[in-house]
């Protein structure tokens, strides 16, 4: 099953996990060679790796006694595509947000985005 964009973004929100991801951008590395950005315990690194794996951002592969961690470029591209949606004009962003919230938006959601096409960039940013 493909992870949701929410899981991907939550995983990327943490500085430690981003640091671990950056270490495997070019090639797979054994878990023991990953260096956390601050002095955290091995179990903590393992928990961060599980979050990244659950989000589909990394995969684990056994190579003899080593456990190799590699970046899943597809999930990262999916997050990038989602974030690129925010580069669109205001009404496109509003439409994208409303449809990502729900197929049938609630009355509260509709009221929040009502008249959004008339907002300037600063007013748009305050809504997000």
Fold of 5-77: Arc Repressor Mutant, subunit A (1.10.10)
Give the mean model confidence (pLDDT) for residues 1-6.
79
- What's the confidence (pLDDT) of residue 53? 95
Q: Which helix (H) or strand (E) holds 91?
A: helix 90-101
Residue 119 region, left (φ>0) first, then alpha (ψ -120 to 50), else beta? beta
Residue 128 has pLDDT above 50, yes or no: no
First-to-final CA distance of the chain = 29
Rounded Cα distance between 18 and 97, Å, is: 25
Confidence of residue 40 (pLDDT cuts 50, 70, 90): confident
Give the mean model confidence (pLDDT) for residues 35-46.
84
78 CB-near residues (< 8 Å, 6+ apart): 5, 8
Average pLDDT, the chain: 78
pLDDT above 70 coverage of the chain, percent: 66
Give the mean model confidence (pLDDT) for residues 49-72.
94
- What's the confidence (pLDDT) of residue 87? 65
| Residue boundaries of the structural domains of the chain | 5-77, 88-127
């Amino acid at each position: 099953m493909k992870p949701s964009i929410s899981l991907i973004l939550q995983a990327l929100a943490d500085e430690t996990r981003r640091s671990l991801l950056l270490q495997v951008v070019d090639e797979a590395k054994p878990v023991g060679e990953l260096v956390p950005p601050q002095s955290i315990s091995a179990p903590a690194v393992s928990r961060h790796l599980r979050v990244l794996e659950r989000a589909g951002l990394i995969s684990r592969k056994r190579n003899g006694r080593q456990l190799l961690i590699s970046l899943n470029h597809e999930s990262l591209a999916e997050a990038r595509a989602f974030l690129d949606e925010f580069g669109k004009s205001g009404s496109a962003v509003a439409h994208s947000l409303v449809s990502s919230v729900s197929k049938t938006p609630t009355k509260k959601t509709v009221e929040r985005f009502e008249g959004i096409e008339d907002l300037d960039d600063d007013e748009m940013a305050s809504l997000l």
